[in-house]
Amino acid sequence: MATPFGARARVFVVALIVWTLLGVAASAVLRDGDRAGTGGGGGGGGISDGSGEGDGSGDGSAAPEVSFWVDPDSRAARQAAEWRRTGRADDALLMERIAVRAQAEWLTGPDPGPVVEARTTAAAREGRTAVLVAYYVPHRDCGSYSDGGAEGGTEYREWVDGFAAGLGDRSAYVVLEPDAVAQALAGCDRVVPKERYALLAYAVDRLKQQANTRVYLDAGNSAWHPDPARLVEPLVRSGIARADGFALNVSNFQTDAAGSEYGGKLSAALDGKHFVLDSSRNGNGPFTGAEPWCNPPDRALGMPPTTATGAPLIDAYLWVKRPGESDGTCRGGPPAGQWWPSYALELARNAYG
């Protein structure tokens, strides 16, 4: 039986709407990919061209593709919802560019176990993997903007034990103690390097007792200690041999290309260890003014989180630093870790605006 004209028209309209929505979604994906790959100094996302030694393109096998958990109640998600309610639709759309991405959960205070358990459980319900940051080493940040941490070694080991217990057998990527190795190497007068490295080695060993936990020991960034050879001994003493790898560029702005090259050289000195890169805010590369690591202006979101890196040594691009959380009370920012919506909006606008 022939379809009546009215029914045919309705079918056509529905089909047109579906086609349009698919086109918009595909365009958004392409824009994300274009931005991540070319973003104003992002260095092609650090994806190897297969030609170079020391560019992250080693012969090791990359980790299997992983789906990271997205917190539906993140600060960015709440901000986007608020702006939609108050008529700031364009800003809300930009903020959603942050809210839909997986971001790390930072454990920075006492008793991490309940939060670790809650986050990994929520991720497991969706068949996803949580990304966590362990950040409680004594003399954290050498008394600077993010100072704090455990009072001593005994408290820290107990803290790590609680963190590990919270993980259970659920899947997680753990970035272990941003800045801890690089800062000790730089000469923080509050830190006894031997003691710090021993605490980090304890943390690696304890966390790796959890069956589905991958541990990446932080190794600073390519601008902090330009010669990666300097990091080899401290990382070895900190247990890198038993970790899954190391993390680079956490809370920093160095390009993916710089991180890939630096990581490749460091990996070669560490028997081919893999690494992850924090690409959360490096879309426009590093700032060249004073305190380039602390809330620098005119930066942009970088490569979205993924384990499909195209470089066998790079296990993942991660958003370790949560875009929109302050680096500290510099350039008008709130205290470190606090939400700063105007900065988050700038990062998104510079990436997608």
Catalytic residue positions? 141, 179, 327
Cα separation, 301 vs 217, whole angstroms: 23
Polymer length of the chain: 353
Question: Tokens 């800045």 appear where?
Answer: 179
Cα separation, 179 vs 120, whole angstroms: 24
Cα separation, 214 vs 233, whole angstroms: 22
Which amino acid appears at position 107 of this protein? L
Strand partners, 172: 130, 213
Are the CB atoms for 289 and 329 separated by under 8 Å? no
Structure tokens given for 2: 């022939």
Cα separation, 127 vs 125, whole angstroms: 6
Structure tokens given for 9: 């028209």
Buried b (16+ CB within 10 A) or exposed e, 267-296: beebeebbbbbbbbbbbbbbbeeeeebbbb
Measured from the Cβ of residue 134, the count of other Cβ atoms closer than 10 Å reads: 26
Are the CB atoms for 35 and 41 separated by under 8 Å? no
Which amino acid appears at position 17 of this protein? I
Structure tokens given for 36: 């991540």
Cα separation, 131 vs 18, whole angstroms: 34
Cα separation, 205 vs 197, whole angstroms: 12
